[in-house]
Chain A
């Protein structure tokens, strides 16, 4: 048993391939047990919960029932678990593609293009050449991967040897690929003869990947994707080339000084990234579509970026992120049919999750102030209890601000703006109390004044329920601010007496 598999001297001793593999498995287990990893997981879970909370507020505001929506979403993901895995297959591969480039400090924003070129090449092999069964499948995969690799290595070489920024080149090549494939299957040589749609002919049965578990969606492509997670993890963490790429990614100058060929690493990193994106497209064509539809991917390459960031560029993180987004996608269509909530809601949730994942310090901040706040309430209940009531008033107000105006979303713009403002300001009140900011009393008073304005405008627009609710909210607000003012001055008096 080796204590620390990352120490370089020990690694030099262990040179045989078998040893390396077992070391690598040890390191995977170690990484899963490490504090950092668990903290990452913890952060991600909290981010997802907060994002779902914000999404629930948006649903309430737009007139949908969040409880219905979330249960349909969850139920859809469980009932259609094969679809979850099917959806997550290309996400996983595209995510690995983007993550690999990120490891080398490169942003492959054009994985979409490599995915299209790879899948187009695989489709060509799939219907133009007749081959025996296993050979044909492999031939498609190899050609698709190779096409993606070539399409990725071009911007890689340009970046490494010419300094052309990879964000621009991959982006431009991505658009070029979309138009090129569009042309190929609509007016070009790969158009399905006599068809009015922009599609290619269907690939031979020998080229399709077999389905798994009797599902009509899930194919062996999923197994390929999972194997790629292992492969990329091994490549990044346990090979010299992967090490060099990480070194270039963390500090290019230092890596170059240490004698690493940074240019080669960069070109190869984008090439391999392209190969993975190409594989994502190939597997999807062979496993599900069986022919090249114009614009079939609808942003899988971009989703790859999302998955990579959710997984923090770690292959296992990408695995988890892909399953999660796959579940959202599969659950989203179920939610649309069964709860009547548009499937775009899923995209909103995705965006919110990513935004909260982007701010790990928000969660640290929350937990730090949360603990302080709780201690403060315990030690000074006289001031703390009104404060926590006001804190609740803030949350309630944020919800009420939107709920009250939601019937008027489509007809009254000024009420909508006012409601939105109240919600935001209520959140601010909540934050002030949470932080024990000095402005908490005055802001509580301020929000009750805004509620009063809301009540008046409700009266002006003859909206009775707006008027009544706003008046009640304003009343509670005034009462609370008086209470806060009194307890706050009490504390001051006590403090003065104490000193």
Chain B
């Protein structure tokens, strides 16, 4: 029996799943935006998400309070990003090398600690989830009730982060400085602003947001940590960032688009069981579509000074 495709509840489910799947992507993509706008390539988003997801579960496990889990996840993501920042900003190391190191370290470390703490490979014990935000009175409304009736708090944080990021980037001196340090660091330096500090802060912010995205995966949407549970989402977020043209709104839209593709697959496998033998084939299609879309859109322009360490000119 085929389900009715135009059932309102199903459409509501699709929208809700889209929002849920895109939340970690948007958060990590926003984080990546801070870093790349300031001139530091951050391919380590994946690792920062992973450490966030892990430490959220670990802290919740020990403290039995998921909110402490969220805070620890943000700090852990920021701490790993600080390592990346020390290497790329202070020690002028290669950004991609450092990012690769961050991912490798996070992957190995979280899997190792999974075994140390819960002495099992694969998945952790179940922990307390973040409580859902239930908006009373709208449950009955079709679609809106299905979508916003009860959502995880980090989803709302994500919407908030998008708006704040847009405001910070384009309406505050700090945002101007971040953008300047990615476009033309020597001018910023001439204006008396410390480029290293700006870049350092931007990279740490990127880690905090990625850590929050990871926490969503582990204690927002689910309730446990699984080995390498980010499953390439950091890279997808990186793609969303580039696809969205290195802007907060663009990252949000692109992240939501990738989340929608994910949700659509779940939707198809739920509503059209006849296509089951082609499941993996269908999963492939969105990625091909993205490539075709990119070929159509054409050139994307990264911040000018991204990837190049800034050397302060020495007084002669």
Contacts and interface: CB of A to CB of B under 8 A. Distances in A.
Interface of A: 58, 62-63, 107, 109, 154-155, 158, 162-165, 167-169, 171-173, 175-176, 179-180, 182-183, 186-188, 302, 305-306, 309, 342, 344-362, 365, 409-410, 412-413, 416
Contacts of A361: 91-93
Contact of A182 (B108, B280, B290): B280
B96 A165 contact: no
Contacts of A365: 91
Nearest to A112: B232
Interface string B54-92: 000001001100000000000000000001001110011
Contacts of B113: 62
10 closest pairs, A vs B, by CB? A347-B108, A351-B105, A163-B299, A351-B104, A354-B101, A183-B280, A355-B101, A413-B62, A348-B108, A358-B98
B297 interface: yes
A180 B116 contact: no
Interface string B282-314: 011001101100110111101000000000000
Interface in B95-133: 96-98, 100-109, 111-113, 115-117, 121
Interface residues of B, number: 57
Nearest to A64: B116
A62 B112 CA distance: 9
The secondary structure that dominates the B interface is helix
A179 B287 CA distance: 10
Given A309-B96, A413-B63, A164 B235 contact: no
B242 interface: yes
A355 B98 contact: yes
B300 A165 contact: yes
Given A158-B295, A164-B297, A167-B238, A351 B103 contact: yes
A158 B62 contact: no
Nearest to B108: A347
Contacts of B298: 162-164
Nearest to B109: A348
A176 to B, nearest CB: 4
B279 interface: yes
22 contacts: A62-B116, A167-B238, A168-B243, A171-B235, A171-B236, A172-B288, A173-B287, A179-B283, A187-B278, A305-B96, A306-B104, A344-B111, A346-B108, A347-B104, A347-B108, A348-B108, A348-B109, A351-B104, A354-B104, A357-B97, A360-B91, A362-B91
Contacts of B287: 172-173, 175-176, 179
A273 to B, nearest CB: 15
A171 B280 contact: no
